[in-house]
Amino acid sequence: MAGSVNKVILVGNLGRDPEIRTLNSGERVANLSLATSETWRDKASGERKEKTEWHRVVIFNDNIVKVCENYLKKGSTVYVEGQLQTRKWTDQQGVEKYSTEVVIQKFKGELTMLGGRGDGGGMSRGGGDDDYSSGFSTGGANKPSGPRESYDLNDDIPF
């Protein structure tokens, strides 16, 4: 295929605390229940209405799992960037079901804390790590070394 893009961008609030589990492989996974809402005024009745959409976010990136564990809770506002993925599973009655999730892979996607009620006050990020971050953002990288401040090309002119 000549290239494709699968990207989801959400800003919303957690409906409950993150759930973190350990797979048989030892790998940790975080699950978030994230709400986005729209409000509008109904043209006919003049009433204000609201509709909330709930998103299931699944995180396989361990740096981001740690942020979920240490900083997020019910009510936290987050920016999430991931991929749409539909998973098939079978319930206890043997019925096939589908679940569509926003997945933050090990090497793809981001999560950035944006504050909100759930934040326990402090914004300090905890020390001792060598992560690259955009504020409380986490993701994308492996062992980055910071943004580029300048580079030595002197024949660059705006075009």
* H or E segment and range at residue 139: strand 138-139
Question: Residue 47: which of its own copies, DNA, none does it interact with, CB under 5 to 8 A by kind?
Answer: none
Distances (CA, A) of 2 to 5, 6, 12, 109: 10, 14, 33, 22
d(CA 82, CA 51): 22
Question: Residue 45: which of DNA, its own copies, none does it interact with, CB under 5 to 8 A by kind?
Answer: none
Minimum CB distance to its own copies, residue 41 (Å): 5
Scanning residues 31 to 50, which ones bind its own copies (CB under 8 A)?
Answer: 33, 35-43, 49
Q: Do 10 and 114 touch, CB atoms closer than 8 A?
A: no
The angle at the Cα of 123, spanning 119 to 124, to the nearest 5 degrees, equals 135
Minimum CB distance to DNA, residue 77 (Å): 7
Contact pick of 27, 100, 123, 144 for DNA (by CB under 7 A)? 123
Contact pick of 9, 11, 19, 35 for DNA (by CB under 7 A)? 35
Contact pick of 29, 62, 66, 73 for its own copies (by CB under 8 A)? 29
